[in-house]
A and B are shown apart, each in its own frame.
Chain A
Amino acid sequence: MEPFTGKDIDQIVEHNAQHMLRAAYAVLHSNSDAQDAVQDAFLILLKKQPTFRDASHEKAWLLRVTINIAKNEAKRKRRFADEPPQETAAPESGEDVLSFVLQLPEPYRIVIHLYYYEGYSIQEIARLLHLPAATVGTRLARGRKQLKTMLEQEDAK
Protein backbone atom coordinates (compact mmCIF):
# COMPACT_ATOMS: atom_id res chain seq x y z
CA MET A 1 0.00 0.00 0.00
CA GLU A 2 1.37 3.41 -1.01
CA PRO A 3 1.76 5.90 1.85
CA PHE A 4 -0.11 9.19 1.57
CA THR A 5 1.73 11.82 -0.43
CA GLY A 6 1.85 15.48 0.53
CA LYS A 7 -0.82 16.15 -2.08
CA ASP A 8 -3.07 13.42 -0.63
CA ILE A 9 -2.74 14.93 2.82
CA ASP A 10 -3.60 18.41 1.59
CA GLN A 11 -6.68 17.15 -0.23
CA ILE A 12 -7.91 15.05 2.67
CA VAL A 13 -7.51 17.99 5.04
CA GLU A 14 -9.29 20.36 2.66
CA HIS A 15 -12.22 17.99 2.14
CA ASN A 16 -12.75 16.92 5.71
CA ALA A 17 -11.17 19.17 8.34
CA GLN A 18 -14.08 21.59 8.72
CA HIS A 19 -16.62 18.75 9.08
CA MET A 20 -14.42 17.03 11.63
CA LEU A 21 -13.95 20.27 13.56
CA ARG A 22 -17.71 20.82 13.83
CA ALA A 23 -18.34 17.25 14.96
CA ALA A 24 -15.65 17.59 17.62
CA TYR A 25 -17.05 20.96 18.66
CA ALA A 26 -20.47 19.38 19.14
CA VAL A 27 -18.85 17.07 21.70
CA LEU A 28 -16.29 19.38 23.34
CA HIS A 29 -17.86 22.88 23.16
CA SER A 30 -14.39 24.33 22.70
CA ASN A 31 -12.79 25.41 19.46
CA SER A 32 -9.20 24.79 20.59
CA ASP A 33 -10.00 21.33 22.03
CA ALA A 34 -11.91 20.49 18.85
CA GLN A 35 -8.90 21.53 16.74
CA ASP A 36 -6.65 19.25 18.80
CA ALA A 37 -9.09 16.36 18.28
CA VAL A 38 -9.01 16.92 14.52
CA GLN A 39 -5.22 16.94 14.48
CA ASP A 40 -5.13 13.70 16.50
CA ALA A 41 -7.61 12.10 14.11
CA PHE A 42 -5.42 12.98 11.14
CA LEU A 43 -2.38 11.54 12.93
CA ILE A 44 -4.27 8.25 13.34
CA LEU A 45 -5.06 8.38 9.64
CA LEU A 46 -1.35 8.73 8.83
CA LYS A 47 -0.46 5.90 11.16
CA LYS A 48 -3.11 3.45 9.93
CA GLN A 49 -3.00 4.46 6.25
CA PRO A 50 -6.44 2.99 5.54
CA THR A 51 -7.75 2.51 2.02
CA PHE A 52 -11.05 4.22 1.33
CA ARG A 53 -13.65 3.15 -1.17
CA ASP A 54 -14.67 6.71 -1.99
CA ALA A 55 -14.83 10.21 -0.55
CA SER A 56 -17.93 9.49 1.54
CA HIS A 57 -16.25 6.48 3.11
CA GLU A 58 -13.20 8.58 3.90
CA LYS A 59 -15.35 11.27 5.50
CA ALA A 60 -17.37 8.77 7.57
CA TRP A 61 -14.16 7.15 8.84
CA LEU A 62 -12.63 10.47 9.82
CA LEU A 63 -15.82 11.65 11.50
CA ARG A 64 -16.02 8.50 13.56
CA VAL A 65 -12.39 8.68 14.66
CA THR A 66 -12.75 12.38 15.51
CA ILE A 67 -15.91 11.79 17.53
CA ASN A 68 -14.24 8.98 19.46
CA ILE A 69 -11.21 11.14 20.24
CA ALA A 70 -13.47 14.01 21.30
CA LYS A 71 -15.57 11.72 23.50
CA ASN A 72 -12.47 10.33 25.17
CA GLU A 73 -11.16 13.85 25.75
CA ALA A 74 -14.51 14.95 27.20
CA LYS A 75 -14.50 11.90 29.48
CA ARG A 76 -10.93 12.63 30.58
CA LYS A 77 -11.83 16.23 31.37
CA ARG A 78 -14.88 15.20 33.38
CA ARG A 79 -12.76 12.74 35.36
CA PHE A 80 -10.00 15.17 36.25
CA ALA A 81 -11.84 18.48 36.48
CA ASP A 82 -12.93 19.75 39.90
CA GLU A 83 -15.29 22.17 38.27
CA PRO A 84 -17.70 21.66 35.40
CA PRO A 85 -16.08 22.42 32.03
CA GLN A 86 -16.19 26.01 30.86
CA GLU A 87 -18.23 26.22 27.74
CA THR A 88 -17.19 28.48 24.93
CA ALA A 89 -19.78 31.03 23.90
CA ALA A 90 -21.61 30.10 20.74
CA PRO A 91 -21.37 32.33 17.67
CA GLU A 92 -24.01 34.99 17.34
CA SER A 93 -25.94 33.77 14.32
CA GLY A 94 -28.38 31.03 15.33
CA GLU A 95 -26.90 31.38 18.81
CA ASP A 96 -29.93 30.05 20.66
CA VAL A 97 -30.28 26.87 18.66
CA LEU A 98 -26.58 26.01 18.82
CA SER A 99 -26.27 26.80 22.50
CA PHE A 100 -29.35 24.72 23.25
CA VAL A 101 -28.05 21.79 21.21
CA LEU A 102 -24.78 22.04 23.13
CA GLN A 103 -26.72 21.76 26.38
CA LEU A 104 -28.21 18.40 25.39
CA PRO A 105 -26.64 15.21 26.78
CA GLU A 106 -23.60 14.18 24.71
CA PRO A 107 -25.17 11.12 23.04
CA TYR A 108 -28.14 13.20 21.85
CA ARG A 109 -26.12 16.07 20.44
CA ILE A 110 -23.77 13.81 18.46
CA VAL A 111 -26.73 12.15 16.78
CA ILE A 112 -28.47 15.49 16.21
CA HIS A 113 -25.32 16.93 14.68
CA LEU A 114 -24.83 14.01 12.29
CA TYR A 115 -28.50 14.02 11.33
CA TYR A 116 -29.12 17.75 10.97
CA TYR A 117 -25.75 19.06 9.92
CA GLU A 118 -24.16 16.18 8.02
CA GLY A 119 -27.43 14.84 6.65
CA TYR A 120 -26.84 11.19 7.50
CA SER A 121 -29.86 8.89 7.86
CA ILE A 122 -30.59 6.97 11.04
CA GLN A 123 -29.19 3.78 9.50
CA GLU A 124 -26.03 5.54 8.37
CA ILE A 125 -25.48 7.07 11.80
CA ALA A 126 -26.01 3.64 13.37
CA ARG A 127 -23.24 2.21 11.20
CA LEU A 128 -20.98 5.19 11.71
CA LEU A 129 -21.29 5.15 15.51
CA HIS A 130 -21.65 1.36 15.86
CA LEU A 131 -24.97 1.72 17.62
CA PRO A 132 -28.24 -0.10 17.12
CA ALA A 133 -30.39 1.91 14.72
CA ALA A 134 -33.18 1.86 17.27
CA THR A 135 -30.91 3.59 19.77
CA VAL A 136 -29.99 6.26 17.24
CA GLY A 137 -33.68 6.84 16.54
CA THR A 138 -34.45 7.08 20.24
CA ARG A 139 -31.65 9.55 20.86
CA LEU A 140 -32.76 11.65 17.94
CA ALA A 141 -36.36 11.68 19.13
CA ARG A 142 -35.42 12.50 22.72
CA GLY A 143 -32.90 15.14 21.71
CA ARG A 144 -35.42 16.83 19.50
CA LYS A 145 -38.04 16.71 22.21
CA GLN A 146 -35.68 18.36 24.71
CA LEU A 147 -34.61 20.92 22.14
CA LYS A 148 -38.21 21.79 21.37
CA THR A 149 -38.96 22.26 25.08
CA MET A 150 -35.95 24.54 25.50
CA LEU A 151 -36.90 26.65 22.50
CA GLU A 152 -40.51 26.93 23.69
CA GLN A 153 -39.33 28.04 27.13
CA GLU A 154 -37.08 30.61 25.50
CA ASP A 155 -39.95 31.93 23.40
CA ALA A 156 -42.16 32.21 26.47
CA LYS A 157 -39.65 34.51 28.23
Chain B
Amino acid sequence: MNVQRAYQTAMDEIAFSETELHRLQQSLHRASEEQEEFQLTHTIQKNHVLRLLLIAALVLLVAFSAAAAVRFFVPKKLSDELQLNISSLQPVVNLSDAASGSVTTVQKTQYTNGLVITFEAIAKGKCFVENSWQSANGGNVEDESTYAIFTIRSEDGSPFYGNQDGKDFTQPYQAPNFGYNLLLEGYAPNPSALIDHHNIFNYEENNVLYKAYDITDAVPFADKHPYIIINDGMIVSPDIMRIDKDGEFYFDEHYTGIRAMFDLNLNPALADPAKQAEVLERDPLFTYDEIVALFAEEGRSYDNYTPLVFNEVIDEDGTEPATAQ
Protein backbone atom coordinates (compact mmCIF):
# COMPACT_ATOMS: atom_id res chain seq x y z
CA MET B 1 0.00 0.00 0.00
CA ASN B 2 1.27 3.46 -0.81
CA VAL B 3 0.91 5.23 2.52
CA GLN B 4 1.25 8.72 1.13
CA ARG B 5 -1.40 8.18 -1.53
CA ALA B 6 -3.78 6.55 0.94
CA TYR B 7 -3.34 9.49 3.32
CA GLN B 8 -3.91 12.02 0.53
CA THR B 9 -7.05 10.20 -0.64
CA ALA B 10 -8.47 10.08 2.88
CA MET B 11 -7.62 13.72 3.54
CA ASP B 12 -9.19 14.83 0.26
CA GLU B 13 -12.52 13.79 1.70
CA ILE B 14 -12.15 16.36 4.49
CA ALA B 15 -13.56 19.36 2.70
CA PHE B 16 -15.92 22.32 2.89
CA SER B 17 -19.07 21.70 0.89
CA GLU B 18 -20.03 24.31 -1.69
CA THR B 19 -22.64 25.66 0.72
CA GLU B 20 -20.21 25.86 3.62
CA LEU B 21 -17.66 27.62 1.47
CA HIS B 22 -20.22 30.15 0.28
CA ARG B 23 -21.35 30.74 3.88
CA LEU B 24 -17.74 31.29 4.91
CA GLN B 25 -17.23 33.84 2.15
CA GLN B 26 -20.41 35.68 3.14
CA SER B 27 -19.41 35.86 6.80
CA LEU B 28 -15.98 37.21 5.81
CA HIS B 29 -17.58 39.87 3.60
CA ARG B 30 -19.66 41.00 6.60
CA ALA B 31 -16.61 41.00 8.88
CA SER B 32 -14.65 43.04 6.34
CA GLU B 33 -17.43 45.64 6.06
CA GLU B 34 -17.76 45.92 9.84
CA GLN B 35 -14.03 46.36 10.15
CA GLU B 36 -13.97 49.17 7.58
CA GLU B 37 -16.76 50.99 9.43
CA PHE B 38 -14.94 50.58 12.73
CA GLN B 39 -11.66 51.90 11.29
CA LEU B 40 -13.37 54.93 9.80
CA THR B 41 -15.05 55.85 13.10
CA HIS B 42 -11.87 55.15 15.02
CA THR B 43 -9.79 57.41 12.74
CA ILE B 44 -12.22 60.34 13.15
CA GLN B 45 -12.22 59.93 16.94
CA LYS B 46 -8.45 59.54 17.01
CA ASN B 47 -7.89 62.78 15.06
CA HIS B 48 -10.12 64.66 17.48
CA VAL B 49 -8.29 63.27 20.51
CA LEU B 50 -4.93 64.03 18.90
CA ARG B 51 -5.84 67.69 18.45
CA LEU B 52 -6.80 67.97 22.12
CA LEU B 53 -3.62 66.21 23.19
CA LEU B 54 -1.50 68.53 21.07
CA ILE B 55 -2.97 71.61 22.72
CA ALA B 56 -2.47 70.09 26.19
CA ALA B 57 1.13 69.20 25.36
CA LEU B 58 1.91 72.75 24.23
CA VAL B 59 0.52 74.19 27.45
CA LEU B 60 2.57 71.74 29.52
CA LEU B 61 5.70 72.46 27.51
CA VAL B 62 5.53 76.16 28.19
CA ALA B 63 4.67 75.70 31.88
CA PHE B 64 7.45 73.26 32.68
CA SER B 65 10.24 74.25 30.30
CA ALA B 66 12.35 75.75 33.07
CA ALA B 67 12.02 72.66 35.26
CA ALA B 68 12.79 70.41 32.33
CA ALA B 69 15.96 72.31 31.49
CA VAL B 70 17.26 71.77 35.02
CA ARG B 71 16.44 68.07 34.88
CA PHE B 72 18.67 67.52 31.85
CA PHE B 73 21.71 68.34 33.96
CA VAL B 74 20.93 65.80 36.70
CA PRO B 75 23.37 62.82 36.51
CA LYS B 76 21.92 59.50 35.40
CA LYS B 77 20.88 57.10 38.13
CA LEU B 78 22.41 53.64 38.31
CA SER B 79 19.14 52.06 37.22
CA ASP B 80 19.12 54.23 34.11
CA GLU B 81 22.58 52.96 33.20
CA LEU B 82 21.46 49.39 33.67
CA GLN B 83 18.56 50.06 31.36
CA LEU B 84 20.94 51.49 28.78
CA ASN B 85 22.86 48.19 28.78
CA ILE B 86 19.73 46.28 27.91
CA SER B 87 18.14 48.87 25.67
CA SER B 88 18.90 46.73 22.64
CA LEU B 89 16.39 44.25 24.06
CA GLN B 90 13.66 46.82 24.58
CA PRO B 91 11.45 45.64 21.70
CA VAL B 92 11.32 42.06 22.95
CA VAL B 93 11.92 41.88 26.72
CA ASN B 94 10.28 43.69 29.61
CA LEU B 95 12.93 46.07 30.91
CA SER B 96 11.63 45.74 34.47
CA ASP B 97 12.41 42.00 34.35
CA ALA B 98 15.86 42.74 33.00
CA ALA B 99 16.52 45.27 35.74
CA SER B 100 15.35 42.81 38.41
CA GLY B 101 17.86 40.19 37.24
CA SER B 102 15.39 37.81 35.54
CA VAL B 103 17.22 38.40 32.29
CA THR B 104 20.92 37.64 32.07
CA THR B 105 22.67 39.90 29.58
CA VAL B 106 25.52 38.47 27.52
CA GLN B 107 26.16 40.87 24.62
CA LYS B 108 28.81 39.06 22.61
CA THR B 109 29.09 39.65 18.87
CA GLN B 110 30.39 37.65 15.92
CA TYR B 111 30.56 38.53 12.22
CA THR B 112 29.76 36.05 9.48
CA ASN B 113 28.73 36.23 5.81
CA GLY B 114 27.87 39.93 5.92
CA LEU B 115 25.91 39.53 9.15
CA VAL B 116 26.44 40.84 12.67
CA ILE B 117 25.17 38.28 15.16
CA THR B 118 24.98 39.33 18.80
CA PHE B 119 24.13 36.99 21.64
CA GLU B 120 22.18 39.50 23.70
CA ALA B 121 20.78 37.67 26.68
CA ILE B 122 19.22 34.62 28.27
CA ALA B 123 15.65 35.01 29.51
CA LYS B 124 12.59 33.05 30.59
CA GLY B 125 9.60 33.21 28.26
CA LYS B 126 7.59 35.06 30.90
CA CYS B 127 9.90 38.07 30.50
CA PHE B 128 9.02 38.51 26.83
CA VAL B 129 7.01 41.47 25.62
CA GLU B 130 3.71 40.02 24.46
CA ASN B 131 3.22 42.33 21.53
CA SER B 132 6.43 41.39 19.81
CA TRP B 133 7.30 37.69 19.91
CA GLN B 134 3.85 36.42 20.60
CA SER B 135 1.88 38.34 18.03
CA ALA B 136 4.50 37.53 15.45
CA ASN B 137 4.68 33.85 16.20
CA GLY B 138 1.27 32.67 17.23
CA GLY B 139 1.57 32.84 20.99
CA ASN B 140 3.53 29.69 21.64
CA VAL B 141 6.28 31.15 23.83
CA GLU B 142 6.32 29.10 27.02
CA ASP B 143 6.59 31.13 30.23
CA GLU B 144 8.92 28.72 32.00
CA SER B 145 11.11 27.83 29.05
CA THR B 146 14.55 29.38 28.77
CA TYR B 147 15.56 31.25 25.62
CA ALA B 148 18.83 32.54 24.21
CA ILE B 149 18.07 35.88 22.58
CA PHE B 150 20.06 37.07 19.60
CA THR B 151 19.98 40.11 17.37
CA ILE B 152 21.03 39.68 13.76
CA ARG B 153 21.77 42.62 11.49
CA SER B 154 22.99 42.82 7.92
CA GLU B 155 26.24 44.74 7.75
CA ASP B 156 24.69 46.89 5.00
CA GLY B 157 21.56 47.51 7.09
CA SER B 158 19.18 45.79 4.68
CA PRO B 159 16.03 44.14 6.05
CA PHE B 160 15.71 40.37 6.31
CA TYR B 161 12.11 39.86 5.39
CA GLY B 162 11.13 43.24 4.01
CA ASN B 163 7.42 42.70 4.37
CA GLN B 164 4.77 45.20 5.28
CA ASP B 165 5.23 45.28 9.03
CA GLY B 166 8.23 43.11 9.77
CA LYS B 167 6.11 40.68 11.71
CA ASP B 168 5.40 37.99 9.20
CA PHE B 169 8.04 35.32 8.98
CA THR B 170 6.19 32.73 6.96
CA GLN B 171 8.29 33.05 3.85
CA PRO B 172 9.53 29.57 3.09
CA TYR B 173 11.68 30.50 0.11
CA GLN B 174 13.82 33.49 1.04
CA ALA B 175 15.52 34.63 4.24
CA PRO B 176 18.09 32.30 5.82
CA ASN B 177 16.70 29.78 8.25
CA PHE B 178 19.23 30.57 11.01
CA GLY B 179 18.97 27.12 12.49
CA TYR B 180 20.60 26.36 15.78
CA ASN B 181 22.19 23.50 17.59
CA LEU B 182 23.45 23.03 21.10
CA LEU B 183 26.73 21.33 21.82
CA LEU B 184 28.22 20.06 25.06
CA GLU B 185 31.90 20.01 25.79
CA GLY B 186 33.17 16.46 25.70
CA TYR B 187 30.23 15.19 23.65
CA ALA B 188 30.15 14.61 19.92
CA PRO B 189 28.00 16.99 17.84
CA ASN B 190 24.51 15.66 17.52
CA PRO B 191 21.78 16.56 15.06
CA SER B 192 19.09 17.64 17.44
CA ALA B 193 19.32 16.06 20.88
CA LEU B 194 18.90 19.24 22.87
CA ILE B 195 16.56 21.07 20.55
CA ASP B 196 13.94 18.46 19.83
CA HIS B 197 10.41 19.85 20.21
CA HIS B 198 11.75 23.33 20.68
CA ASN B 199 10.81 26.43 18.75
CA ILE B 200 12.59 29.44 17.34
CA PHE B 201 10.85 32.78 17.67
CA ASN B 202 11.38 35.75 15.40
CA TYR B 203 10.74 39.43 15.51
CA GLU B 204 12.04 42.12 13.19
CA GLU B 205 12.14 45.82 13.95
CA ASN B 206 14.13 48.55 12.19
CA ASN B 207 15.93 45.92 10.11
CA VAL B 208 17.15 44.13 13.24
CA LEU B 209 16.10 40.51 13.41
CA TYR B 210 15.52 39.27 16.96
CA LYS B 211 15.71 35.52 17.44
CA ALA B 212 14.80 33.56 20.56
CA TYR B 213 16.16 30.02 20.60
CA ASP B 214 14.76 27.60 23.14
CA ILE B 215 17.66 26.29 25.24
CA THR B 216 15.58 24.77 28.04
CA ASP B 217 17.11 21.32 27.66
CA ALA B 218 20.65 22.70 27.74
CA VAL B 219 20.20 24.35 31.15
CA PRO B 220 20.45 21.10 33.19
CA PHE B 221 23.82 20.55 31.47
CA ALA B 222 25.19 23.85 32.80
CA ASP B 223 28.18 21.98 34.26
CA LYS B 224 28.96 20.46 30.82
CA HIS B 225 29.86 23.78 29.21
CA PRO B 226 27.08 24.07 26.60
CA TYR B 227 27.58 26.04 23.38
CA ILE B 228 25.03 27.37 20.93
CA ILE B 229 25.75 27.19 17.20
CA ILE B 230 23.91 29.26 14.61
CA ASN B 231 24.20 28.00 11.06
CA ASP B 232 22.18 27.89 7.87
CA GLY B 233 22.57 24.18 7.29
CA MET B 234 20.09 21.60 8.35
CA ILE B 235 22.14 19.79 10.92
CA VAL B 236 25.46 20.27 12.65
CA SER B 237 27.46 17.39 11.28
CA PRO B 238 31.12 16.56 10.83
CA ASP B 239 31.20 18.35 7.47
CA ILE B 240 30.29 21.58 9.29
CA MET B 241 31.60 21.19 12.80
CA ARG B 242 34.77 19.48 13.94
CA ILE B 243 36.46 18.74 17.23
CA ASP B 244 40.18 19.20 17.75
CA LYS B 245 42.45 17.01 19.83
CA ASP B 246 41.68 19.03 22.93
CA GLY B 247 37.95 18.48 22.49
CA GLU B 248 37.34 22.05 21.28
CA PHE B 249 34.66 22.60 18.64
CA TYR B 250 35.45 24.53 15.48
CA PHE B 251 33.83 25.05 12.08
CA ASP B 252 35.25 23.06 9.19
CA GLU B 253 37.34 25.28 6.96
CA HIS B 254 35.43 24.14 3.86
CA TYR B 255 32.06 25.11 5.31
CA THR B 256 31.20 28.56 3.99
CA GLY B 257 27.66 29.02 5.30
CA ILE B 258 26.47 31.20 8.17
CA ARG B 259 28.39 30.24 11.27
CA ALA B 260 28.55 31.59 14.79
CA MET B 261 29.34 29.78 18.01
CA PHE B 262 28.82 31.17 21.49
CA ASP B 263 29.50 29.83 24.92
CA LEU B 264 26.15 29.78 26.74
CA ASN B 265 28.08 30.51 29.93
CA LEU B 266 25.33 29.14 32.19
CA ASN B 267 25.65 29.18 35.95
CA PRO B 268 26.94 25.69 36.91
CA ALA B 269 24.58 25.78 39.90
CA LEU B 270 21.74 25.19 37.40
CA ALA B 271 23.10 21.71 36.57
CA ASP B 272 20.56 18.97 37.22
CA PRO B 273 21.86 15.38 36.89
CA ALA B 274 18.34 13.90 37.03
CA LYS B 275 17.19 16.03 34.11
CA GLN B 276 20.41 15.27 32.25
CA ALA B 277 19.61 11.57 32.53
CA GLU B 278 16.08 12.23 31.31
CA VAL B 279 17.37 13.94 28.17
CA LEU B 280 19.95 11.23 27.57
CA GLU B 281 17.31 8.51 27.80
CA ARG B 282 15.10 9.95 25.09
CA ASP B 283 14.32 7.97 21.99
CA PRO B 284 17.26 7.42 19.71
CA LEU B 285 17.63 10.14 17.12
CA PHE B 286 18.22 9.61 13.44
CA THR B 287 19.98 6.50 12.36
CA TYR B 288 22.37 6.90 9.47
CA ASP B 289 19.95 5.11 7.12
CA GLU B 290 17.04 7.33 8.16
CA ILE B 291 18.86 10.56 7.55
CA VAL B 292 20.27 9.42 4.22
CA ALA B 293 16.76 8.39 3.16
CA LEU B 294 15.33 11.76 4.22
CA PHE B 295 17.94 13.64 2.26
CA ALA B 296 17.53 11.37 -0.74
CA GLU B 297 13.79 12.10 -0.79
CA GLU B 298 14.64 15.75 -1.19
CA GLY B 299 17.17 15.00 -3.90
CA ARG B 300 20.14 15.78 -1.67
CA SER B 301 23.15 13.70 -0.81
CA TYR B 302 24.45 13.22 2.66
CA ASP B 303 27.45 11.04 1.96
CA ASN B 304 29.71 12.74 4.46
CA TYR B 305 27.39 12.27 7.38
CA THR B 306 28.83 10.19 10.17
CA PRO B 307 26.28 8.91 12.64
CA LEU B 308 27.18 10.42 15.99
CA VAL B 309 24.70 10.19 18.82
CA PHE B 310 24.33 12.36 21.82
CA ASN B 311 25.21 9.81 24.46
CA GLU B 312 28.60 9.25 22.94
CA VAL B 313 31.33 10.87 24.94
CA ILE B 314 34.58 11.89 23.33
CA ASP B 315 37.55 9.91 24.61
CA GLU B 316 40.29 11.63 26.50
CA ASP B 317 42.36 11.96 23.35
CA GLY B 318 39.49 14.02 21.94
CA THR B 319 39.12 12.12 18.70
CA GLU B 320 37.10 8.93 18.87
CA PRO B 321 33.66 8.83 20.48
CA ALA B 322 32.94 6.16 23.05
CA THR B 323 29.60 5.19 24.54
CA ALA B 324 28.71 6.97 27.77
CA GLN B 325 28.38 4.92 30.91
**B298/A97 in contact, CB under 8 A:** no
> B25, A22: Cβ atoms under 8 Å?
no
A91 touches B14 (CB 8 A): yes
Answer yes or no: A74 CB below 8 A from chain B CBs. no
Also in contact, A46 and B172, with CB within 8 A (given A133-B235, A137-B234) = no
Please report which residues of chain A, range 60-103, place their CB below 8 angstroms from some CB of chain B when the two chains form the complex.
60-61, 63-65, 68-69, 71-72, 90-91, 93-98, 101
Interface string of B74-90 (1 = CB under 8 A from A): 00000000000000000
Question: Which residues of the partner chain A approach B115 to less than 8 Å between Cβ atoms?
Answer: none
User: Which of B4, B28, B29, B294 lies in contact with A141, CB distance below 8 A?
Assistant: B294
List the one stretch of B150-158, B194-202, B246-254, B263-271 in contact with chain A: B194-202
Contact pattern, A 113-136, Cβ under 8 Å of B = 1, otherwise 0 = 100110011111011111111110
B residues 252-290 touching A (CB-CB < 8 Å): 283, 285-286, 290
In the complex, are the beta carbons of B163 and A93 less than 8 A apart? no
A61-B168 CB under 8 A given contacts A127-B177, A132-B181: yes
B172, A134: Cβ atoms closer than 8 Å = no
Distance A93 CA – B7 CA, assembled complex (angstroms): 9
Given the known inter-chain contacts A98-B10, A130-B199, please indicate yes or no for A122 contacting B24, CB distance below 8 A: no
Q: Using Cβ atoms and an 8 Å threshold, which residues of chain B touch A101?
A: 7
A29 to chain B, nearest CB (A): 10
Shortest CB distance B13–A (Å)? 4
- Residues on A with C-beta less than 8 A from B27 are 39
Interface contact B9-A13, CB-CB below 8 Å: no
In the complex, the answer to whether A9 meets B168 with C-beta atoms within 8 Å is no
Q: Are A22 and B199 touching (Cβ within 8 A)?
A: no
The CA-CA distance from A43 to B30 in the complex, in Å, is 11
Contact B177–A71 (Cβ < 8 Å):
no
Contact of B201 among A47, A124, A130 (CB under 8 A): A130
Which of B10, B163, B200 contacts A97, CB < 8 Å?
A: B10
Report the interface size for chain B: residues with CB under 8 A from the other chain.
62
At the interface, yes or no: B110 with Cβ under 8 Å from chain A? no
Interface size class of A (residues with CB under 8 A): 35 or more
A137-B235 CB under 8 A given contacts A22-B11, A57-B170: yes
Interfacial chain B residues near A122, Cβ < 8 Å: 234, 294, 298
In the complex, per-residue mask of B227-252: 1 if CB is within 8 Å of any chain A CB, else 0: 00000001110000000000000000
By a CB distance below 8 angstroms, the chain B residues around A18 are 15-16
Q: Contact at A138–B164, with CB atoms within 8 Å? A: no
- When chains A and B are docked, how far (Å) is the Cα of A122 from the Cα of B192? 14
CA distance A72 to B134 in the complex (A): 13
Say yes or no for B187: interface residue by CB 8 A criterion. Answer: no
Q: Distance in Å from the Cβ of B84 to the closest Cβ of chain A?
A: 31
Q: CB distance A151 to B3 under 8 Å?
A: yes
B35 and A46 contact, CB distance less than 8 A: yes
Is the CB of B169 closer than 8 A to any CB of chain A?
yes
A98–B28 contact, CB under 8 A? Answer: no
Q: A133 with B234: in contact, given A34-B14, A126-B177 (CB under 8 Å)?
A: yes
When distances are taken between beta carbons in the complex, the residues of chain A under 8 Å from B16 are: 17-18, 21, 35, 38
Question: Could you tell me if B28 and A134 are in contact, using CB atoms closer than 8 angstroms?
Answer: no
The listed residue (A9, A31, A65, A128) touching B14 by CB distance below 8 A is: A31
Residues of A within 8 A of B (CB): 1, 3-4, 6, 9-10, 13-14, 17-18, 21-22, 25-26, 31, 34-35, 38-39, 42-43, 46-48, 50-51, 53, 56-57, 60-61, 63-65, 68-69, 71-72, 90-91, 93-98, 101, 107, 112-113, 116-117, 120-124, 126-135, 137-138, 140-142, 147, 151
Residues in chain B within 8 A of chain A (CB atoms) = 1, 3-11, 13-16, 20-21, 24-25, 27-29, 31-32, 35-36, 137-140, 163-165, 168-173, 177, 179-181, 191-192, 195-202, 234-236, 283, 285-286, 290-291, 294, 298
**Closest 4 pairs (CB-CB, A-B):** A68-B138, A94-B10, A98-B10, A134-B192
Given contact pairs A6-B29, A134-B179, a sample of 16 additional A-B residue pairs in the complex whose CB atoms are under 8 Å apart: A10-B25, A22-B11, A22-B14, A38-B16, A39-B28, A51-B164, A57-B171, A93-B13, A95-B10, A96-B6, A117-B11, A123-B177, A124-B172, A128-B170, A137-B191, A142-B283
